[in-house]
Amino acid sequence: MTTSQIFLVTSTFLACAVEMVEALTIVLATGITRGWRSALIGVVAVTAVFVRMGIPAWWVLPVGITGYLAVSMTRK
């Protein structure tokens, strides 16, 4: 593996970790302010949509858009 490939893999991993923390923060904020039921329903609904589209759940959960969609879907 060349140095540029190592930097690419490392930066991609760190970017995914940042997005995972962002999604977790959004879900936690929603759970604290609006209630855990609506936050978890949103996460489950978004995950189900992605799984139905053929994307494995373990690929979807760390994506930052999951948290955003979870909040959007639980608005009253």
Q: Among residues 58, 35, 36, which one has the least CA distance to residue 47?
A: 58
pLDDT-derived band at 70 (thresholds 50, 70, 90) equals low
State residue 64's pLDDT score: 54
When comparing pLDDT for 23 and 69, which is higher?
23
State residue 67's pLDDT score: 58
Q: What is the C-alpha separation between 65 and 72, in angstroms, rounded? A: 10
3-state secondary structure of 15: helix
What is the per-residue pLDDT across 12-58, written as a single tens digit (0 to 9) for each?
888 878 887 888 888 888 889 988 888 888 888 877 877 777 766 55
Q: Is the pTM of this model over 0.85?
A: no
